[in-house]
Structure 1
Amino acid sequence: MSLLTPAQLSWAQGAAPPSSQTRMDLAQQTAGIQLSGADYAVVGVVMVIALAALAFGYVLIKEVLAAGQGTAKMQDIAKGVQEGASAYLNRQFRTLAIFAVVVFLVLFALPAENTAELIGRSVFFLFGAAFSAAIGYLGMWLSTRANLRVAAAAREAGTGREKAMRVAFRTGGVVGMTTVGLGLFGAGLVVLVYAGGAPRVLEGFGFGAALLAMFMRVGGGIFTKAADVGADLVGKVEQNIPEDDPRNAATIADNVGDNVGDCAGMAADLFESYAVTLVASLILGTAAFGLHGLLFPLIVPAIGVLTAVIGVYITKARAGESALTAINRSFFISAGISAVLCAVAAVLYLPSSFSELTGVSETIRNTSGNPALIALAAVLIGILLAVVILRLTGYFTATEHRPVRDVGKSSLTGAATVILSGMSVGFESAVYTALIIGAAVFGAFLLSASLPVALFAIALAGCGLLTTVGVIVAMDTFGPVSDNAQGIAEMSGDVEGEGAQILTELDAVGNTTKAITKGIAIATAVLAATALFGSYTDAIGAALADVGGEIAASQFFVYAPNVLVGVAIGAAVVFLFSGLAINAVSRAAGAVVFEVRRQFRDKPGIMDGSERPEYGKVVDICTRDSLRELATPGLLAVLAPIAVGFGLGVGPLAGYLAGAICTGTLMAIFLANSGGAWDNSKKLVEDGYHGGKGSEAHAATVIGDTVGDPFKDTAGPAINPLLKVMNLVSVLIAPAVVTLAVGDAANPAVRISIAVVATAVIIGAVVIAKRRSTAIAEASPSDKAVNGAA
């Protein structure tokens, strides 16, 4: 396996490309890395820490489930949410199992260094997919039980706020510890079995995790926002009843959606971020630091496990202190401890000179600089990036800061100004966040003049950010659990006074923590995707060595027309993906609106409480539509890189990835932060600002919130796994693209045929999706009359 060496860098600038023999020598050096007894001990300790994380998660589960469950009515409502969420995920997993088996078989057709790695890549694809699914299911299972307990805890006089917050945050702690535990255990197991060949096998592991996460993110996002939008439009705007009023047939589906979208989907999303960042780090580390580069990326997140335990346990709001302040303090403390421990690990484990590294090329051994200090600086950049994004995203989405207050104030002039001001917040925050992420990437890149080392530094920055992921997942899960708790409280009517105020506060804090974790997730996605660029180059170099061919340097110049076309296509795919996701929510929400309206019309006793709404019908609509909409975004993510790579070549495919990363970064942040600002501006009005509930300002912010729902919880978060799926597909297909394009095995007919088939499938899927009605319902009588007259 070879990377873009300094010689290759000069080749990209116009000099002669390096010989195939040079690449082959580097590939043999990297593949020949073997673990010693001490190295096995390091991996063993890492895996023990991973298992300890899982054990700690189990302890937290017992603690959460030991909390009180409230009244019988509260338990009955929670049971309905549990049954709906389980039914949805079971159906989704049955659907995705077929897709996973197909991809598992296709992976056997792609080139690999040897048979063992070919089998390992496919087998660990299933491991990655299974781990991602398991974490998502655990997040859903526990959150549907914790929401009830948070609502019950809020009812306790004097200690309600502290206890409710603790139960909600430690529920997230369970998911966080499971995420880091399974991610670290999976990566450690591959390194233990495959040693120097681990990075190539881990490509399958990361791909499985990313693919399942993307499907769960898209499907869960469509479900939750279809129910949420439908419930708000009919309940709040048309019937003027509270958000979680039990008379609204969409309320159970709305609460189910919080769990399958925000808990299950986001848990799987952050797990795949964890897995893919480790994949990129190990691939690049073996070439840049040799054996040390294979193990150090495991040590850093292992430290993160220890600091996550501290972060979860110290989260406690002081008297008169907001819950958000307490959560942020825990995050900062755990990040600071991580920085100190990573500094110790870098100094003790890594050598002070590149000449002391083993399993690297002669070029790397002659590189100037201190590997320990470079690695430490890179990890600190990642930790600092997480801290800065937390502060920046909190500023743009929290209720106590000016952006959200300005959006709330704009409600005095109607829904249009609410939407405009919210979009302004999203656009502005996207610029600042993208610049900060770019500064982190460039800062890590400047740590070494050697390109392989610089790329590894970027990957290590991602690992540094991952040291905080246990607390990040806890922060994210805190949001939907608090939201559900407030829903159960309102539907049951058994939580009043101070308890209701506590749940309202925690819900608003949860909106901010969800926005923060989305910002950090996209930062992780960008770091991982940028690092995977090095892996992509590596795959091309290894394939060229195998076929004995060369590719003209002009194929990679950014100003070359073919590369610019690739950039444009990559940017366009992000827009198309986002549009498909938002339109899917629109169609499903339309069906929910018509169903809830029908029930209010046909069952007049619902309003006075004499008749019970048919909650199950709305759950069925959301389940059916969300699963039906999965195929098109999934096919686009997997097949678009195949169409570009086989159709235009490896240079335009690199441009495609660059366009997707840049556009995806801005789009994801814009969608997440504008949606978060709209949601919390609605909370402001509901707290009594600008007229309070039932006012025209309230109706305006509800419209803004419904626009923002698919932004922040469907399309925006789904871009994270999209970027990594496309990068990993590109890494996996690069050898096949090279084989069919250059050398004795070149076959333009087969290459173009693959591209044409992939393009045709994408077009067919999009056309079928667009043929579906925007609002799935029969035309109203007035529509029929107009059509008939026409």
Structure 2
Amino acid sequence: MIELGQGSLTIVAVIGAIAVAALAFAVVLRRQVLATDEGTPAMKEIAGAIQEGAKAYLTRQFRTLAIFAVIVFGLLFLLPAEPEIKLGRAIAFLFGAGFSAAIGYLGMSLAVKANVRVAAAATRPGGRSEGARIAFRTGGVVGMAVVGLGLLGAAGVVLVYRGEAPAVLEGFGFGAALLAMFMRVGGGIFTKAADVGADLVGKVEQGIPEDDPRNAATIADNVGDNVGDCAGMAADLFESYAVMLVASLILGKAAMGEQGLVLPLIITAIGALVAVLGVLTTRVRGEESGLRAIYRGFYVAAVVGVLLAALATFVYLPGTFADVPGISEALAGQPGDPRLIVSAAVLLGIVLAGVILWLTGYYTGTTSRPTLHVARTSRTGAATVVLSGIGVGLESAVFTAGIIAAAICGAFLLAGGSLSLALFLVALAGCGLLTTVGVIVAMDTFGPVSDNAQGIAEMSGDVDAAGAQVLTDLDAVGNTTKAITKGIAIATAVLAATALFGSYREAVDVAMGEIAEAGTQVAGGIVGAMVAYDITSPITLVGVILGGATVFLFSGLAIDAVTRAAGAIVFEVRRQFREMPGIMTGETRPEYGKVVDICTRDSLRELATPGLLAASAPIAVGFGLGVGPLAGFLAGAIGTGVLMAVFLANSGGAWDNAKKLVEDGLHGGKGSEAHAATVIGDTVGDPFKDTAGPAINPLIKVMNLVSVLIAPAVVQMSVPADTNHALRIGLALVAAAVALGAVLASRLRAVRAERDDERDDSRTAAGVL
């Protein structure tokens, strides 16, 4: 075990203090946001309804998730490890899950208070710059909390467990990733069910504006923006931060000993400092585009982050690998200056973030050729809009995946062929990318806050034409920033998953080494082949296929869940228009609460299936087929996951902004056939970009972390010749049954929903309803 010296412990303690300072800065920003004007009484009333619905949903969601957390807490004690590591890992799991939930709740609770303040700012002179400042600083609060809690958790574990910290931090990352996936799926189903239902009945059938108060789904739609985009995305980026730290510490310890364990913490602590700079420098100047101001803040933070990371690396590391204390034998003779190599890896990650930012903006921005092309196809109907959006998504996925692959190749080249160093450099590139996470979170939260502000303004009727245009412009910027942050989150997920892939290999190697030291006879034949990593092995290729198939199944389940929930919303909103004719004349107030209740019920009901699939699939493959096929499973999930996530996110973003372009007057404007076509495209894209696509990020990390955690047990139950293989197969069958049972339960719910719909249609035709 590595013993950390006093100098390293002092550095980690300072990093913990930086984490606390980041949280303090978040408190300061929060006070600044809440000090601004809340607007008119009508605005406050609408905002209050959104706040009430969002808080009620998250409270019910957390009660549901608490059951999963308790079950997993107990299961972690069944995995092989020293007793103190088992206890620490289980406690760290609860902290990771708790921090992820806290970040999500913070993102939601402040966003539902900031939205009305952005709407109020639009009614005053200089509303564009003031509204953008409030929205961005709201995200800044969440971004600083992500950095602060992530650093605090990692630094705290290192201070307590020292050289054994990576094993304990596996639990921290797993808790963060598992909760984030649940929040992403649940929030995504809620928000997109309401959004799709509101658009199909309101815009297409009734011909009323998006946030018209006569639409019973408007409050639920605005609630969904907060529980899905704010709470879900904040938790997602927090788990990316936590998981990247976990992977980099595991690989750093294996490759470079004590300094490899501390170095990732130093780089991410620099991210806390540059996040402050990025938030403070993001200001809209006069009539400039809000997107330009946000880009400026991001690039300033990125450049300063590179410089500070390089400075810290040159101060902390020696000039040769041989002089690194506790370095592995394989790296002791590695040529090159570790300071330059590490600095280049960090630069690689930050450049990757910048390129992804540009590329995603190109494919989804309102002024770029792809989105303009999608808007043009609206002249020939909804089918061509859908087809063109799919084409844009598929094309963008190839280029984005290629850029991420190039970054990973760059890390491999920097390592000079050393696999252990290459994996560590991939992790450091991810840490470099995450030095900008504070600004990235702020960019993402900007979107739903601006969207909500526009909805509140339209529903209240207290904003004039000029103010409405300001909010429309901010909303369009928010659509692009949300798409950009999804792209960066996907890149982060792939780097983290690649690093975790290396952590999985390290866990397998350690377990195999322990078996070899014990002189245990290794099984031969089929069982012996299960531990091989040969990609040409048919059984390993089976793992690759199953990994890719799991991503497809997960995405299908998420989209299907939105389809069922949205269908229920459509029927409810139609019923209210039919049975309450006073709604259209403004004499009767819609029953907003019923739609919120339907969204809440359906999203929580669908929550378990994707989570059980993500946790059970690697267990079934690992114990059923072995560590080699499980490695193939992870490779298949990572490769398919990056392509699928980018495709879904960018298709949805292009459809959304194409709709905005038509609503702004292009190709006939609102109420035209082109507008109806783009609304259909947008409703198809909603579950793509805000439910299934983003949820793939935590999915691949959850599956990687589960694999890392079970790897020693899989080796112990597979390799020795005298192992009871019946028990191993039994565990695999139980895990497979859990996954298939969850999918079957989802299918049965779909059948029941279809029967209910048919019954409602029959009763409507008979004049009963």
How would you bin the TM-score normalised by the shorter chain? Answer: over 0.9
Q: Which amino acid aligns with 2:262?
A: L
Q: Deviations over 1:324-344 (max 9, x none)?
A: 011011111110000111111
The verdict on how the C-alpha distance between 1:188 and 1:554 changes in structure 2, with shifts beyond 3 A counting, is closer
Equivalent residue for 2:12? Answer: 43
Q: Does 1:66 align with 2:43?
A: no
Equivalent residue for 1:506? Answer: 474
Which of the numbers 377, 380, 383 marks the counterpart of 1:416?
A: 383
Q: Which amino acid aligns with 1:569?
A: L
Which of the numbers 602, 605, 617 marks the counterpart of 1:640?
A: 617
RMSD between aligned residues: 1.4
Quick check: 2:139–2:443 contact (8 Å CA) kept in 1?
yes
Q: Which amino acid aligns with 1:343?
A: A
Distance 1:383 1:778 in 2: 50
Quick check: 2:256–2:328 contact (8 Å CA) kept in 1?
no
Distance 2:14 2:548 in 1: 43
Q: Secondary structure at the match of 1:70?
A: coil
The verdict on how the C-alpha distance between 1:455 and 1:781 changes in structure 2, with shifts beyond 3 A counting, is closer
Equivalent residue for 1:629? Answer: 606
Q: Does 1:612 align with 2:580?
A: no
Q: Secondary structure at the match of 1:141?
A: helix
More deviation in 766-775 or 90-99?
766-775
Equivalent residue for 1:470? Answer: 438
Quick check: 1:547–1:744 contact (8 Å CA) kept in 2?
no
Distance 1:619 1:96 in 2: 20
Quick check: 2:182–2:607 contact (8 Å CA) kept in 1?
yes
Q: Deviations over 1:698-733 (max 9, x none)?
A: 000000000000000000000000000000000000
Equivalent residue for 2:130? Answer: 163
Equivalent residue for 2:90? Answer: 122
Give the deviation of 1:287 after TM superposition.
Answer: 1.2
Equivalent residue for 1:135? Answer: 103
Q: Secondary structure at the match of 1:711?
A: helix
Name stretches of at least 5 consecutive residues in structure 1 with no aligned partner.
1-30
Give the deviation of 1:785 after TM superposition.
Answer: 10
More deviation in 772-781 or 525-534?
772-781
Equivalent residue for 2:252? Answer: 285
Q: Secondary structure at the match of 1:773?
A: helix
Give the deviation of 1:156 after TM superposition.
Answer: 0.4
- Superposed, which structure 2 residues align to 1:322-361 within 5 Å? 322-361=289-328
Q: Secondary structure at the match of 1:352?
A: coil
Q: Secondary structure at the match of 1:245?
A: coil
Q: Which amino acid aligns with 1:564?
A: L
Q: Does 1:494 align with 2:457?
A: no
Equivalent residue for 1:437? Answer: 404
Equivalent residue for 2:525? Answer: none
Q: Does 1:400 align with 2:367?
A: yes
Equivalent residue for 2:172? Answer: 205
Equivalent residue for 2:199? Answer: 232
The verdict on how the C-alpha distance between 1:786 and 1:399 changes in structure 2, with shifts beyond 3 A counting, is same
Quick check: 1:139–1:263 contact (8 Å CA) kept in 2?
yes
Q: Secondary structure at the match of 2:493?
A: helix
Distance 1:752 1:420 in 2: 45
Q: Tell me the percent identity.
A: 69
Give the deviation of 1:361 after TM superposition.
Answer: 2.7
Which of the numbers 543, 546, 550 marks the counterpart of 1:573?
A: 550
The verdict on how the C-alpha distance between 1:554 and 1:97 changes in structure 2, with shifts beyond 3 A counting, is closer
The count of aligned residue pairs is 754
Q: Secondary structure at the match of 2:38?
A: coil
Quick check: 2:140–2:439 contact (8 Å CA) kept in 1?
yes
Q: Secondary structure at the match of 1:772?
A: helix
Quick check: 1:554–1:560 contact (8 Å CA) kept in 2?
no
Equivalent residue for 2:114? Answer: 146
Which of the numbers 535, 541, 544 marks the counterpart of 2:512?
A: 544
Distance 2:62 2:114 in 1: 23
The verdict on how the C-alpha distance between 1:554 and 1:623 changes in structure 2, with shifts beyond 3 A counting, is closer
Give the deviation of 1:782 after TM superposition.
Answer: 6.0
Give the deviation of 1:768 after TM superposition.
Answer: 1.4
Give the deviation of 1:641 after TM superposition.
Answer: 0.2
Distance 1:631 1:541 in 2: 33
Q: Secondary structure at the match of 1:111?
A: coil
Equivalent residue for 2:629? Answer: 652
Q: Deviations over 1:100-119 (max 9, x none)?
A: 0000000000011x221111
Q: Deviations over 1:414-454 (max 9, x none)?
A: 00010011111100000000000000011111212221111
The verdict on how the C-alpha distance between 1:594 and 1:440 changes in structure 2, with shifts beyond 3 A counting, is same
Q: Deviations over 1:294-314 (max 9, x none)?
A: 111001111111111011011
Give the deviation of 1:772 after TM superposition.
Answer: 2.1
The verdict on how the C-alpha distance between 1:228 and 1:786 changes in structure 2, with shifts beyond 3 A counting, is closer
Distance 2:726 2:571 in 1: 51
Equivalent residue for 1:87? Answer: 56
Equivalent residue for 2:162? Answer: 195
Distance 1:616 1:416 in 2: 34
Q: Does 1:459 align with 2:436?
A: no
Equivalent residue for 1:245? Answer: 212
Quick check: 1:227–1:253 contact (8 Å CA) kept in 2?
yes
Distance 2:330 2:568 in 1: 62
Q: Which amino acid aligns with 1:395?
A: Y
The verdict on how the C-alpha distance between 1:122 and 1:553 changes in structure 2, with shifts beyond 3 A counting, is closer
Equivalent residue for 2:151? Answer: 184
Distance 2:555 2:578 in 1: 34
Q: Which amino acid aligns with 2:64?
A: T
Which TM-score applies when normalising by structure 2? 0.97
Quick check: 1:632–1:769 contact (8 Å CA) kept in 2?
yes
Which TM-score applies when normalising by structure 1? 0.94
Give the deviation of 1:406 after TM superposition.
Answer: 0.8
Q: Does 1:77 align with 2:57?
A: no
Give the deviation of 1:369 after TM superposition.
Answer: 2.1
Q: Does 1:106 align with 2:85?
A: no
The verdict on how the C-alpha distance between 1:147 and 1:782 changes in structure 2, with shifts beyond 3 A counting, is closer
Equivalent residue for 2:644? Answer: 667
The verdict on how the C-alpha distance between 1:350 and 1:707 changes in structure 2, with shifts beyond 3 A counting, is same
